[in-house]
Structure 1
Amino acid sequence: MLLALAYPWLAHWAAGGSDLAASLALADLVLIVLVEGLLCRRLRAWLALAAALAMLAALHGTVWPRVLLLAPPMLFTGLVAWFFARSLADPRGALITRIVAALDRCEPAALPPRLHRYTRRLTAAWAGVMTLLCVVNGLLALIAVPDGALALLGTRAPLTVSREQWSLFANLLNYGLVGLFFVGEYALRRRWFPARPYRNFLEFMRMMGRLGPEFWRGLFTRP
């Protein structure tokens, strides 16, 4: 969690031109991906970490670490959008439908019809929001100067944004918009479905956490 919280600030710091911050942000991403294997002392995880750090050391001082940081905001939002959208065709139920059913301790099919429809539509709404953010992140990465994708290819875009403006959206506002949608939807849900098994937002988050790592891992795997 601390690694995930640190990444947006390191990436935004790197947008100011800091080579050190760019390398640290990429190293932070590597640790986020490998942390479970590292804690379990898996040899391949430690070898992957060593290889990644060696590559970052070789690239330090070049433009490439900052160029590589253009990709994660688009890849992250695109991957999340894909998980939400893919679950709409899952015979076990849409992603949020399964989460709500787990909180209610029942099968997705046993949810009240109105709540079942709402959770399915909410899953589709999350897929749409994350797809929109993915597209916006991709467009901004294309037109950022001086080291956006088009600028590096020697093409001048008709409309450009500074690296700092791209970073402000991709590394900070991105997550703020996601959080705002999450909190806003919670408030709407409390109004439309007042009889829920939690009394407030804090209790809701605690119940989400108590579902456990096995549930969350299974949620994103194919049947």
Structure 2
Amino acid sequence: MTRYKAALALAYPLAAHFAVIHNSVTLIAVALGLLIVVPMLPALGRGSRAAWLVLPPVGAGLWWLSRSTHATLPLYIAPVLVPGFMAGVFGSTLTAGQMPLIERLIRIMLEAAPEGATDPEPEPAVRDYARKLTVAWTVFFVSLATVNLALGLLAEPGGLLLSNGMTPPLTVPQEWWSLFANMIGYLLVAAFFLIEYAYRRQRFPRQPYRNMLDFFLRVLAAMPRLVGSAAGSRR
């Protein structure tokens, strides 16, 4: 299920971009369908009656939207909402009394390491780096959401301002917005991740993982506890 979910999630930006550049209402419906259904896959896989009952209204809504003159407008939401949500996840752990998200991840990974392989308590330098990295990810996602919103407002034709009868002071081709929002933005996230990983391996050679693949798998394994600890800290 995880593999299918990842594959469908990766298919969304491709479908959204080609929907924009080809002005295809069919691809718009496919992209929006992926955006709605992918988060529902675990519930659908468990056979949740509520999740399956939601599918017909979703299908009806997508059909109605495909016949609308503003079918492209919902595609502007995800490129702002997703990085904005991620910025909130990282940023909320920087408030007083909270443990930065990256430090939580480090502690979980250290606890899961073989006994004696590494000290379960992060060094002060590591904790300081974890806080700074959490800040960096927060700023990065805020910047990404802001750029996506700005390009969406200025896009022509069919941008957010023009679709609401307002003329922006300048415009950018809608294809440029889509290229950044649905392609370049995701590549920037990957580049940030890879560059930070390479820098961290140099600065802190002793790590509870062997290579990038091992690190990625350990992060995935730590996600349930990480999400649980983040949720518990907000209560």
Shared fold (TM-score greater than 0.5)? yes
Q: What are the Cα deviations for residues 163-193 of structure 1, in whole angstroms up to 9, with x where unaligned?
A: 1110000000000001100000001101110
Greater Cα offset, 174-183 or 87-96: 87-96
With the length of structure 2 as denominator, give the TM-score of the two structures.
0.89
| Residue in structure 2 matched with residue 215 of structure 1 by the alignment | 225
**Pick aligned residue for 2:213 from 188, 194, 202:** 202
Out of 14, 19, 23, the position equivalent to 1:9 is: 14
**How far apart are residue 43 of structure 1 and its match?**
1.5
Contact 1:3 1:31 in 2 (8 A): no
Task: Give the 3 Å change call, closer, same or farther, for CA 90–23 of structure 1 in structure 2.
Answer: farther
1:41 correspondence with 2:47? yes
Quote how far apart the aligned CAs of 1:222 are: 4.1
Unpaired runs of 5+ residues, structure 2, are 1-5, 113-119
CA RMSD of aligned residues (A): 1.8
Which residue in 1 is equivalent to 2:76? 70
Answer yes or no: is 1:143 the counterpart of 2:154.
Answer: yes
Letter in 2 for 1:218: G
Query: Equivalents in 2 of 1:144, 1:222: separation in Å?
Result: 41
Q: Hey, what does 2:117 align to over in structure 1? A: none
Pick aligned residue for 1:105 from 80, 101, 111: 111
Moved over 3 A (4+): none
- In 1, Cα distance between the equivalents of 2:29 and 2:173? 20
Alpha-carbon distance between aligned partners in 1 of 2:96 and 2:52, rounded to the nearest angstrom? 35
TM-score by length of 1: 0.93
Q: Say which SS state the counterpart of residue 62 (structure 2) adopts.
A: helix
**AA partner of residue 155 (structure 2):** A
Find the aligned partners of 2:104 and 2:40 in 1 and give their Cα distance: 27
Q: How far is the alpha carbon of 1:220 from its aligned partner?
A: 4.2
* Corresponding residue number in structure 2 for 1:178: 189
Partner SS for 2:72: helix
Equivalenced residue count is 221
Contact 2:102 2:134 in 1 (8 A): yes
**SS of match in other structure, 1:147:** coil
CA distance in 2 between partners of 1:156 and 1:9 (Å): 29
> Which whole-Å CA distance do the structure 1 matches of 2:39 and 2:181 have between them?
20
Counterpart contact for 2:108–2:226, Cα < 8 Å: no
Q: Flag the 1:145–1:95 CA change in 2: closer, same or farther, 3 A.
A: same
